[in-house]
Amino acid sequence: MTLVGVEVELAPAYTVHIGPGALDLARASFANEKPRVLISDARVHGLHGRTLDPKADARLALLPEGEAAKDFEHLASTLEFLAQQGLDRRSCVWTLGGGAVGDLGGLAAALYMRGVAVVHCPTTLLAQVDASVGGKTAVNLGAGKNLAGAFHQPRAVYADTRVLATLEESEYRSGLGEVVKTALVAGGDLLGLIEREADRLAARDPGLLSEVVEACVRTKARIVAADPMEAGARKALNLGHTFAHAIEQSAGFGKVAHGVAVGVGIAIALRAAREMGCLDDRELEARVRRLLLRLNLLPDLASLRRSIGRALEPRELVAAMRHDKKSRGGELQLVLPRAAGKLELSVAVDGALIESWLA
């Protein structure tokens, strides 16, 4: 077992353990917790619970699968569960699951007694490359995705790339959307690597997966350490996300996988960058389109509309964008790419103009 440890240089610093068998390393640490409390969902727990908790005697809170977990009802019941288990301020909550489990479990840990420790064991590609690192936690409001939450850094993260073999194809593909985003944010060699190896990546080659997850986590760790509360540089990680959140909300939470929406959001951001005259790399739009297609993602809004059989009206999408956390006083602020690794973090764009691009 060859694990890599990526440090996130915050105060206190924490390690993201990456590779096949990271859950075996996690098991030894989890065994020392008193009480041993695990937040997961039934499907993930059935597949991987025993790896972390071989005697199956941890105290268990099982959430519904996916975005359905991320509401106030489940937040409240999870907090009552933590109290019933007798957790005190020195206790540590563990999560095992995808982004939703980590978001909800992380927020519960942030709020319980005004903050206890949390360790994440992300089991989806999306959570491994993005959600479990950086301390963002949230639930959804009716008014928009992730509108209520907290910054709460984990004590450690265990990203076992072996579990990615068990993901459903649609879930795996969703993670690739965040991989493409991270490659565009990172610049350097990551985008080239993914382009060269797109077929092996789509086929989940284990060695390549560990390499890609590590590269993505290194990128995210570097950015988060420089700007933990998203005052500036961290905004880069929101590339494509204002569009993606609006798509997810308009379609109804859970109807479009987050990473698929991010892929389409990136395509729209590239179009927007071209229209706004800030896209320096003229080939990037076509390159990313080809890459999205090779990774079985959707390359534009038109394909997404056909795929889900929904109109996703431009006016409705722009209205949803106004609720996004990046918007300011009703004016829309977009993260737009100039080239791979080179982004404009806050471009003010008129809503009517955006509507025309979404037609």
In the beta sheet, which residues pair with residue 30?
A: none
* Count of chain residues binding its own copies (CB under 8 A): 38
Segment near its own copies (CB under 8 A); pick from 92-100, 124-132, 164-172, 320-328: 320-328
Q: What angle do CA 249, 120, 227 make, to 5 degrees?
A: 70
Among 76, 203, 226, 352, binds its own copies (CB under 8 A): 76
Q: Is 209 in the site for its own copies (CB under 8 A)?
A: no
Work out how close the CB of 150 gets to its own copies at its nearest, in angstroms, rounded to a whole number: 6
- Residue 234: HSE in the Cβ half-sphere, 13 Å Cα cutoff: 17
Q: Closer to its own copies at the Cβ: 102 or 149?
A: 149
Work out how close the CB of 136 gets to its own copies at its nearest, in angstroms, rounded to a whole number: 7
Residues 122-151 that bind its own copies (CB under 8 A): 136, 138, 141-144, 147-151
Going by DSSP bridges, is the β-strand pair 37-41/4-8 parallel, antiparallel, or unpaired? unpaired
**Hey, how many other C-beta atoms are within 10 angstroms of the C-beta on 234?**
19
Contact 348, 338 (CB under 8 A): no
Q: Closer to its own copies at the Cβ: 111 or 185?
A: 111
Work out how close the CB of 77 gets to its own copies at its nearest, in angstroms, rounded to a whole number: 9
> Which amino acids are annotated catalytic?
114, 136, 178, 220, 230, 234, 238, 241, 245, 258
Distance CA 351, CA 284 (A): 25
Contact 347, 338 (CB under 8 A): no
| Integer CA distances (angstroms), 90 to 8, 47, 60, 114, 309, in order | 22, 29, 19, 12, 49
Q: Closer to its own copies at the Cβ: 147 or 225?
A: 147
Q: Is 335 in the site for its own copies (CB under 8 A)?
A: no
Q: Is 75 in the site for its own copies (CB under 8 A)?
A: yes
Q: Closer to its own copies at the Cβ: 305 or 325?
A: 325
Contact 131, 122 (CB under 8 A): yes
Binding mask 243-272 for its own copies (x = CB under 8 A): ------------------------------
Among 14, 112, 158, 172, binds its own copies (CB under 8 A): 112
Length of the chain counted residue by residue: 359
Q: Closer to its own copies at the Cβ: 27 or 322?
A: 322
255's tokens: 């109807």
Q: Is 83 in the site for its own copies (CB under 8 A)?
A: yes
Q: Closer to its own copies at the Cβ: 7 or 80?
A: 80
Please provide the DSSP assignment of 32-93 as one string.
T-SS-EEEEEHHHHHHHHHHH-TT--SEEEEEPSGGGG-SHHHHHHHHHHHHHTT--TT-EE
Q: Is 348 in the site for its own copies (CB under 8 A)?
A: no
Work out how close the CB of 30 gets to its own copies at its nearest, in angstroms, rounded to a whole number: 18
3-class secondary structure, 156: strand
Among 96, 110, 237, 336, binds its own copies (CB under 8 A): 110
CA 321 to chain centre: 18
Chain residues that interact with its own copies, rule: CB under 8 A: 34, 72-73, 75-76, 79-80, 83-84, 86, 88-90, 110-115, 136, 138, 141-144, 147-151, 229, 322-323, 325, 327-330
